[in-house]
A = this chain, B = another copy of it.
Amino acid sequence: MTINKFPPLDPVIHSQVRLAVLSVLIGVKEADFNYLKKVTETTDGNLSTHLSKLEEAGYMTIKKSFKGKKPVTTCSITEKGKRAFARYLEALKDYLPPASNQETKE
């Protein structure tokens, strides 16, 4: 019988906040800091560090600009980020419940 293999889950993605951020960014062209803060329901500080981590990994770009006179931080996922996210989803599938199997493993 086949033994379940559990491929590694990219640690940069396997975090609740960063997973949520990428999940948003996958579906839109870009999203700003405050929008991401709202949907992830996290604090400024926490989000800031998570975004930096995603940027450092090359999964996301952070663009700083001004909306009127207020600074705006805009994020978009990169191609590398899209590929990493897709790979993460593929790997994650192997962690979802297997077909029913009642035998004892030893």
The interface residues of chain A, by DSSP majority, are classed as loop
For residue A10, which residue of chain B has the nearest CB? B16
CB distance from A26 to the nearest CB of B (A): 5
> Do A100 and B95 touch across chains, with their CB atoms under 8 A apart?
no
A9 to B13, CA, bound (A): 14
Interface positions of A from 1 to 60, Cβ below 8 Å from B: 3-6, 8-9, 11, 14, 16, 19-20, 23-24, 26-32, 34-35, 38-41
> Within the oligomer, what is the number of copies of this chain?
2
> Do B105 and A24 touch across chains, with their CB atoms under 8 A apart?
yes
A85 to B89, CA, bound (A): 18
A11 to B17, CA, bound (A): 12
Residues of A whose CB lies within 8 Å of any CB of B are 3-6, 8-9, 11, 14, 16, 19-20, 23-24, 26-32, 34-35, 38-41, 85-86, 89, 92, 95-106
